[in-house]
């Protein structure tokens, strides 16, 4: 309904299909808070709706963790949702993998440059920022204080400046 308010050409069947796909893919997963995992991709999609983004980007928000955290593969996402969405989901997955590898070895500025350089489509960065924003909104549910501090520092050093460079002041400020 939220998307319909600004996008009369919305493909509701694709969004419903993406929701059901994410529901099945994350079926037995829980967030550290104990909530069903599906809440996270739905909230990421909701943030993307607030930004009035296109259907492919919102679909990607629903699916952004499927390649990384479930049995779903790039090929399956291509088959179900097309190459555009699969490439976006894969782009978000690549950034997540970069995070884990690069944080220990590199300065934040180098990581920001790496993320920008590897993102062929700006929508990948928008989904990643929405993902990080929701993770920050739920940061208190992570019991490990060191992990909370690491995520908060990563956000301040990498994602808030990235949002700033993209002119996304509201998201930068909330991050």
Considering 27, 54, 65, 68, which one is annotated as catalytic? Answer: 68
According to the model, what pLDDT value does residue 105 have? 56
> Quick check: is 68 catalytic?
yes
pTM: 0.90
Read off the pLDDT of each residue in 129-158 and give the average, rounded to a whole number. 93
Considering 69, 84, 121, 164, which one is annotated as catalytic? Answer: 69
> Quick check: is 50 catalytic?
no
Query: Between 6 and 43, whose confidence is greater?
Result: 43
Handedness of CA 44, 46, 52, 56 (dihedral sign): positive
- Of the listed ranges 49-58, 114-123, 139-148, the one predicted with least confidence: 114-123
According to the model, what pLDDT value does residue 97 have? 76
pLDDT at 159 over 60: yes
For the segment 8-28, what is each residue's pLDDT rounded down to a tens digit? 888 889 999 999 999 999 999
């Amino acid at each position: 309904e939220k998307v319909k308010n600004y996008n009369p050409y919305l493909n509701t069947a694709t969004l419903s299909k993406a929701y059901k796909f994410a529901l099945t893919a994350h079926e037995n997963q829980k967030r550290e808070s104990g909530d069903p995992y599906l809440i996270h991709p739905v909230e990421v999609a909701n943030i993307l709706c607030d930004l009035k983004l296109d259907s492919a980007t919102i679909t990607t928000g629903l699916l952004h963790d499927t390649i990384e955290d479930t049995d779903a593969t790039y090929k399956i996402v291509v088959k179900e949702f097309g190459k555009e969405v699969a490439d976006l989901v894969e782009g978000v997955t690549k950034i997540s993998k970069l995070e884990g590898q690069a944080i220990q070895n590199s300065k934040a500025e180098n990581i920001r440059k790496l993320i920008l350089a590897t993102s062929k489509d700006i929508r990948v960065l928008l989904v990643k920022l929405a993902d990080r924003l929701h993770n920050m909104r739920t940061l208190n549910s992570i019991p490990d204080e060191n992990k909370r501090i690491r995520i908060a520092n990563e956000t301040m050093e990498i994602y808030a400046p990235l949002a700033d460079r993209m002119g996304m002041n509201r998201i930068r400020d909330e991050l």
